[in-house]
Amino acid sequence: MSTVIATPVKTRAHKGFSPGRIWTLATHTATQLLRMRIVAFLAVFCLVALGAAFFFPQLSPEQQLKQLKDWSMGSMLVASVVFSITATALLLPKDLEDRTLYTILSKPVPRYEYLLGKLLGMLLLLFCGLLLMDLIFSVVLWLKQQALLSAMIAMLEQQQAATPENVAYVEASIRKYGLNSGVHVEVWMVFLRASVVTAMTLLISTFASTTLFTIITSMAFTIAGFGVALMREWVLKGLYGWTEKTVGALLAILCPDLGMFDLSTAAIRGEVTLGVVGQLTGYAAMYVAAYMVVSHLFFVEKEL
C-alpha cells in the first residue's frame, strides 16, 4: 500500500503594498485608454495645430518662431488638459460597466493600489504622449529655425552686409526664439499641470454619480484653477465686498493654482533653472499626493 505524501503548497505572503500590482494596473489602464482611440484624436489635433503654424503670414523670423511655439504649446496644453479630464472621468465608470472593477477588487488588491494604478496609467500615457509631441515639435521647430536662418544669411549676403558681426547677431536672435532647453521645460510644465488635473478628476470621480458630472465639475475646477492667482491678487486684496471676498477665498481654497506652472516667457528666455523646475515638480507632487489621500478616503467608502 503506497502512501501519498502531500507536498506543502508554497504560498507567497500577501503584501500590503505591491509596486508590481500597481504597475500591472497602470499598464492595463494605459492599454485600455489606447484602445479607446483617445490618443489618436489628440495626435491629429496637435498635428493640425502644428501645421496651422506654417500658414501664418510672413512675419519677422522671431515672430514666426514665437507664433509657432505659442500655438504648439497652447494646443499641447489644451489637448493634455482635455485628455486628462475626459479619460480620467471614464476610468471608473468603464471598469464598473465592464465589471472588471469587481474582478480586481475581489482579489486581495487594496483599493488604494487600484487608485494608484489608475493614476499611474494615466500619467504614463500622458508622459509618453507629451514626449512624442515634444519630439515632433522639436524637429519641426529646428527645421523652421534653420530655414529662417539660411534665408536671413542669404538676404544679408545679397545686401553685402554678411559681416561676421551681423551674422552672429542674426544667429543669436533667431536661436533665442528657436529650439532650446526652454521648450522642454515648457512641455514639462504642461505635464505637471495635466498631472494635477488628472489627480483632481480622479478625486471627483470617486464620489461622482455620473461621468458627465465628473467632466463638467473637473472642467469648472480647472478653469477656475487657472484664475486662482488672479483671484488672490485682485479679489482678496482689492476693494471688493464681503461676498466677493468669500467667493474668492473659497475658490482659492478649493481649486488648485494651475497658473503657477505658467513660465512661458521665462522659458523662452531660457532663464528657468533646474532648481525652479524641481520646486514646481515638488509642488505638483504635493497636489497629487494630497488628492490621492482624499480620493482613497472617498473610494474606500464607496458602495460598488
Partner 1 sequence: MNKRVLGVLLFLAFGLARLPLDHAMTMNLREKGLKEAPPTVSWQEDFGQMFLATLGGLRSLVASVGFLEAYSAWERNDWGAVDNRMTLVTRMQPYEPTYWDEASWHMAYNAASYFKRDKSLRAAIQNKLFKDHVQRGLEILNEGLRYLPENRRLLEALGYIYKDRQPDPERAATAFIEAHKNGSLDFIERLGAYELVKVGDRASSAQAYEILKRYYDRGPPFTKMESIQRDLRILENRLNIPADKRIPAAPAPASTTSPRPMLRNTNP
Pick the binder of partner 1 from 40, 44, 48, 59 (CB under 8 A).
Answer: 59
Confirm or reject binding of residue 140 to partner 1 (CB under 8 A). Answer: no
- Comparing CB distances to partner 1, the nearer of 24 and 67 is 67
Q: Interface mask (CB under 8 A) for partner 1, residues 74-103, using x and -? A: x--xx-------------------------
Pick the binder of partner 1 from 13, 239, 253, 274 (CB under 8 A).
Answer: 253
Q: DSSP class of residue 209?
A: S
Place of cell 488588491: 109
Neighbours of 235 (CB within 10 A): 20
Site residues for partner 1, 213-232, by CB under 8 A, read: 223, 225-230, 232
- Comparing CB distances to partner 1, the nearer of 38 and 229 is 229
Minimal distance, residue 88 CB to partner 1, in Å: 17
Cβ within 8 Å of residue 276, ≥6 positions away: 263
Minimal distance, residue 101 CB to partner 1, in Å: 19
Site residues for partner 1, 255-284, by CB under 8 A, read: 257-266, 268, 271-272, 276, 279, 283
CB 26 within 8 A of CB 120: yes
Q: Which residues of 88-112 are buried (b: 16+ CB within 10 A; e: fewer)?
A: bbbbbbbbeeeeebeebeeeebbbb
What the block records as the C-alpha cell of 113 is 493600489
- Comparing CB distances to partner 1, the nearer of 136 and 229 is 229
Minimal distance, residue 265 CB to partner 1, in Å: 5
Q: Number of residues interacting with partner 1: please give it, by CB under 8 A.
A: 58
Residues binding partner 1 (CB under 8 A) = 56-57, 59-60, 62-63, 66-67, 70-71, 73-74, 77-78, 165-166, 169, 189-190, 193, 207, 223, 225-230, 232-234, 252-254, 257-266, 268, 271-272, 276, 279, 283, 286, 290, 293-294, 297-298, 300-301
